[in-house]
Structure 1
Amino acid sequence: MANQEGAYSPSMADRFGRRIEYLRISVTDRCDLRCRYCMAEKMTFLPRDQILTLEEIAVIADRFIARGVRKIRLSGGEPLVRRDFGELARRIGRHVKAGTLEELTLTTNGTQLAEHAEMLVQAGMKRINVSLDTLDPDLFTRITRRGDINKVLEGIRAATSVGLKVKINMVALKGLNDHEFLPMLRWCNAQGHDLTLIETMPLGIIDEDRTDRYLPLKMAVDQIKAEHEVTPIAYRTGGPSRYFAVEGINARLGLITPLSDNFCAGCNRMRLTCEGRIYMCLGHEDHVDLKAAFRAGGASAIDALLDKALRLKPLAHDFAIGADARPATVSRHMSVTGG
């Protein structure tokens, strides 16, 4: 990377020597659920004219790939509620088929998955993440405020039937689903899915106190260890999850622990929001505005801002939770930045 202001090189390494090879793109902040730990019940979403067009997202993705990004994950909000999502996935997926992108993946809540599973495969996807915090239908509706678990389960079956590898993401919520970690792992094992547990993160103002719901994942693992030996393994997918083998179970167990066990030293990611902002860290407000640069100066304006983003990428996030923490470390909701 250049050492003087204004100049740039094509490398994607930050000032701490971390190579940025993974881009997460939020294609919309809209969602058809209102999960309690993620959103307020009454949300105000961005006006559509502030959202990046399909063409703008595709061109920005092209520039990241040209600079060395090897993996792209599409997320939201719920990405499958965006009408032109299929066209966007196919546009980026061309890089996978050409060998210039190693992997294109998706994070979804699963409600629209049955309709779109075949399209994802045609776009070049081989695996996806599905958010599912409980197997109890009534609790699912309570957590999501409106969801029907049967639609999600139907979507997961459809994805599996067309050859997509499904990983389940489960946010650990004290007092809600904290009795379901081992049952969920066993269900995943029976269905052929891996499971990742995630600590709730202080993003955006919601209707509840996150301190009441925060559960360090050590407590979840202790529940599993009471019946199975749990052993760290070297398996990685490019994201922040650390994986474990569980004795007697084929499903891999992943842990994402932003609060109890910081993983920032190995961060290889940036995030593009649906309104065209690059956030160098999920837990900071610092960003660069690619939409404004692209609309003013075209694709050539993107590279200089990417170098600025690399210089500004912090060493670690500022996530905190508890009595002395602010209500939310950052004001934007997870649906804006993307999961």
Structure 2
Amino acid sequence: MLEDSYGRRFHYLRLSITEACNFRCQYCLPDGYDGPPNSAFLQLSEIQTLITAFAQMGTSKVRITGGEPSLRRDFSDVIYHAANTPGIRRVATTTHGARLYKDAIRWADAGLDQVNVSIDSLDPNQFASITGQDKLQQILKGIDTAVGAGIKVKINTVLLQDFNANRLTRFLNWLKDTPVTLRFIELMETGDHHDFFSRQHVSGEPIRQRLINEGWQPLLRAKDAGPAQEFFHPDYAGQIGLIMPYSKDFCKSCNRLRVAANGKLHLCLFSEQGLELRPYLSQGDVEGVKQFITESLADKKVSHFLQEGHTGATKHLAMLGG
């Protein structure tokens, strides 16, 4: 089992397979993507080597991220190989959801267990303003398709000051009858977005207090769960989670490592630099990958230090998929 010097164990791999995205979210790529093509990123054989190595070291969950992972033509193949790697018990992805209505059933057949979809507003005009795409109804249709295909669905919503009014009430009304988990995520500062962060950051704590006051109850975290504090209510079909990276001891429960689409290992979303894994991956060297990762964990820090204004080498979230 992978373990760092602070006793944290790592059951969870977040694997980016592309930096490209065709949305223009205000908090990520407001000017659109202008980076390397998918041919520059990890190939399927390298991804197989990587997941095999992590699985042999105790990783049980893989989340496939981007950018927008569905922009890769071999996305279903990536899902299939992850799902069929011995030791991997859950395969998830994070997506903007625009292809769900067409591809959710195919992804489920390939072995996808869970999908996280980014929906920052249920108001079509707000959604288009935030993302640069007028595709809310298409995405909601895709969520229904995913639920029908047996995929567990979570919704990611970034808290933004300009769009905060009445948003919680609208989402709560939606969750009455919609069996998904909605996670409110505090905006995180990245290298390209210091000014945007200072204008738009909103704490999730008032939402947590409101939920508790209205009878929402906390759920226990699974060992391979993400960082959200999750709540349920007997009167709602859906659940709510809060991801508050600026809260005290947020990093204490860290259980995940990240590999970027270029093959670099990141010990933290906000680490200063990635560690070069690709020579081992290109050679199919599973044992070399395992040794490199095990030795690298000695350098994992106790915190992301976001609360001190530290953003590391992360210019925008599409680099590592959040």
Distance 1:330 1:258 in 2: 17
Distance 2:175 2:248 in 1: 25
Q: Match for residue 231 of structure 2?
A: 244
1:337 counterpart letter in structure 2:
L
Secondary structure, in 3 states, of the residue corresponding to 1:281? Answer: coil
Q: Match for residue 17 of structure 2?
A: 27
1:312 to 293, 299, 312: 299
Q: Percent identity?
A: 30
Q: Which stretch shows the higher mean deviation, 287-296 or 194-203? A: 287-296
2:217 to 217, 231, 241: 231
Residue 126 of structure 2 is aligned to residue 139 of structure 1: yes
Q: Match for residue 169 of structure 2?
A: 182
**Is the 8 Å Cα contact of residues 45 and 284 (structure 2) preserved in structure 1?**
no
**Is the 8 Å Cα contact of residues 53 and 287 (structure 2) preserved in structure 1?**
no
Distance 2:164 2:195 in 1: 16
Report the alpha carbon displacement of residue 49 of structure 1 after superposing the two structures with TM. Answer: 4.2
Report the alpha carbon displacement of residue 155 of structure 1 after superposing the two structures with TM. Answer: 1.1
Q: Match for residue 52 of structure 2?
A: 62
**Is the 8 Å Cα contact of residues 11 and 256 (structure 2) preserved in structure 1?**
yes
Unaligned runs of 5+ in 1: 1-10
Q: Which stretch shows the higher mean deviation, 117-126 or 267-276? A: 117-126
Report the alpha carbon displacement of residue 24 of structure 1 after superposing the two structures with TM. Answer: 0.5
Distance 1:154 1:75 in 2: 21
Report the alpha carbon displacement of residue 143 of structure 1 after superposing the two structures with TM. Answer: 0.2
Q: Match for residue 116 of structure 1?
A: 103
* 1:190-339 mapped onto 2 (5 Å cutoff): 190-206=177-193, 209-224=196-211, 228-236=214-222, 238-246=225-233, 248-295=235-282, 298-320=285-307, 325=309, 328-339=311-322
**Is the 8 Å Cα contact of residues 40 and 206 (structure 1) preserved in structure 2?**
no
Distance 1:28 1:216 in 2: 30
RMSD (Å) for aligned C-alpha atoms: 2.1
Aligned residues: 321
After superposition, what is the alpha-carbon deviation per residue over 1:18-44, rounded to whole angstroms, capped at 9, x for unaligned?
Answer: 111100011111112111112231432
Unaligned runs of 5+ in 2: none
With structure 2 as the length reference, what TM-score do the two structures score?
Answer: 0.92
**Per the alignment, do residues 276 and 222 of structure 1 end up closer, same or farther by CA in structure 2, a change over 3 Å counting?**
same
**Per the alignment, do residues 41 and 72 of structure 1 end up closer, same or farther by CA in structure 2, a change over 3 Å counting?**
same
2:316 counterpart letter in structure 1:
H
**Per the alignment, do residues 130 and 331 of structure 1 end up closer, same or farther by CA in structure 2, a change over 3 Å counting?**
closer
Q: Match for residue 8 of structure 1?
A: none
Report the alpha carbon displacement of residue 235 of structure 1 after superposing the two structures with TM. Answer: 4.4
Q: Match for residue 15 of structure 1?
A: 5
With structure 1 as the length reference, what TM-score do the two structures score?
Answer: 0.88
Report the alpha carbon displacement of residue 74 of structure 1 after superposing the two structures with TM. Answer: 0.7
Report the alpha carbon displacement of residue 312 of structure 1 after superposing the two structures with TM. Answer: 1.4
Report the alpha carbon displacement of residue 153 of structure 1 after superposing the two structures with TM. Answer: 1.0
* 1:1-12 mapped onto 2 (5 Å cutoff): 11-12=1-2
**Per the alignment, do residues 250 and 191 of structure 1 end up closer, same or farther by CA in structure 2, a change over 3 Å counting?**
closer
* 1:72-87 mapped onto 2 (5 Å cutoff): 72-87=62-77
2:40 to 42, 50, 56: 50
**Is the 8 Å Cα contact of residues 181 and 224 (structure 1) preserved in structure 2?**
no
Q: Which stretch shows the higher mean deviation, 154-163 or 290-299? A: 290-299
Secondary structure, in 3 states, of the residue corresponding to 1:255? Answer: strand
Distance 1:90 1:247 in 2: 35
Report the alpha carbon displacement of residue 296 of structure 1 after superposing the two structures with TM. Answer: 6.0
**Per the alignment, do residues 166 and 213 of structure 1 end up closer, same or farther by CA in structure 2, a change over 3 Å counting?**
same
Q: Match for residue 4 of structure 1?
A: none
**Per the alignment, do residues 250 and 261 of structure 1 end up closer, same or farther by CA in structure 2, a change over 3 Å counting?**
farther
**Is the 8 Å Cα contact of residues 178 and 238 (structure 2) preserved in structure 1?**
no
Report the alpha carbon displacement of residue 252 of structure 1 after superposing the two structures with TM. Answer: 1.9
1:90 to 65, 80, 98: 80
Distance 1:329 1:215 in 2: 21
**Is the 8 Å Cα contact of residues 179 and 239 (structure 2) preserved in structure 1?**
no
Q: Match for residue 36 of structure 1?
A: 26
Report the alpha carbon displacement of residue 64 of structure 1 after superposing the two structures with TM. Answer: 0.4
After superposition, what is the alpha-carbon deviation per residue over 1:248-281, rounded to whole angstroms, capped at 9, x for unaligned?
Answer: 3342221110013442111111001100011011
After superposition, what is the alpha-carbon deviation per residue over 1:175-205, rounded to whole angstroms, capped at 9, x for unaligned?
Answer: 2134211321321231111211110111240
1:233 counterpart letter in structure 2:
L
